[in-house]
Amino acid sequence: MVQTLRKPVFFMLAILIVLALGAFSFTYTVPFNERAVVTFFGSADEADVKADAGLEFKWPYPFQSVTSYDTRMQLVEAVGTQQQTADDKQLVIEAYAVWRVRNPLVFYRKFSNSGPNASDHYAEAESTVRSSLNSAISETSRFRMDELFSPKPGASKLGELESSILSVVQRDAGDPDADDGLGIEIVDVGINRIRLSESNSQDVIERMKADRQRLAQETISAGEAAAQSIRSQAERDAQRITSFAELQASKLKAAGDREAGQYIASMQESPELATLLEELQFIRDAYSKQITLVVSGAPGFRMLQPGYLDKLLNSDQNSENTSGDGR
């Protein structure tokens, strides 16, 4: 009984395996993001390119084989290569290219010799694009350093350099639909990094140092000019003040001379008064200091003799009395 049940099971399994192998051999699936090239003994034409997603039928290998290509964007990066600018400056430029399979049939014909699998074809295409990109970066020699790196907004020509590189890579790739093309479309090219070589770095440092020294010298010169202007203004102000002071002094001296002339004239008319004033001034000067005087009997010292002031006072009183009697 058990053996009787096993025979149908094995039979069903065998049928399923055969159907699976048949489905694998006679059908294939095209994803929405891929295009398939169906070859008959290694050759294909336009009708053999399947662009619609879904399940398709084919003859089993070796009659027909299917190669599917992803048509989404692919990225290729170029290693940094040293380039020379128009003014003989050395730059290390790293760039990238964005590409995709545009014509699967042309792409298959161009790169199928690199291997049986689609990954082999992609690897060969990436190598071709990278080589073209490395060669196109030499467009840097058309630009000067100050054109690529300008401090003015919008003045940099890096965009023009990228456009030139893109044109060269697109020219190398050719028409995607032409038989002599690569079957790929170069979508974009860009520069993702620029480095200065060691010699240029030293030149930049020296130039920055020279700029800083120039700015420092300009600041020092401006300070010295301002200081000189301040000194000149101060000298002019001092000269003006001095002239004004001298003028005032001369006026005061003239006024003093006029007043002194009046006193001198009065003293010449009354010599005794002049002598008295001199003696009083002498006493004032003597008593302003704590000194011991040894007084002689000379006329100049009579006011220091005992009783002189009393005599002087009595003389003044007598004069007043006399004047009173006269009235």
pLDDT tens-digit map of 116-126: 899 999 999 99
How many of the other CB atoms lie within 10 Å of CB of 166?
21
CA distance 26 to 49: 17
Question: 43-53, pLDDT tens digit by residue?
Answer: 777 777 888 77
What strands, in cross-sheet order, belong to the sheet with 90-101? 74-84, 90-101, 184-196
CA distance 116 to 28: 17
CA distance 215 to 236: 31
Tell how strand 54-57 and strand 27-30 pair up.
antiparallel
Sorted by where each starts, the structural domains of the chain and their CATH numbers stand as: 2-68 (no CATH), 71-196 (3.30.479.30), 271-319 (no CATH)
The residue-averaged pLDDT of 287-307 equals: 60
Predicted confidence band at 66 (pLDDT cuts at 50, 70, 90)? confident
Predicted confidence band at 212 (pLDDT cuts at 50, 70, 90)? confident
194 φ/ψ angles, rounded to the nearest 5 degrees: -130, 125
Q: Which residues contact 293 (CB under 8 A, 6 or more apart)?
A: 286, 304
Cβ atoms 108, 37 nearer than 8 A: yes
* 107 pLDDT higher than 70: yes
In percent, the amount of the chain with pLDDT more than 90 equals 27
**Tokens coding 200:** 């240029």
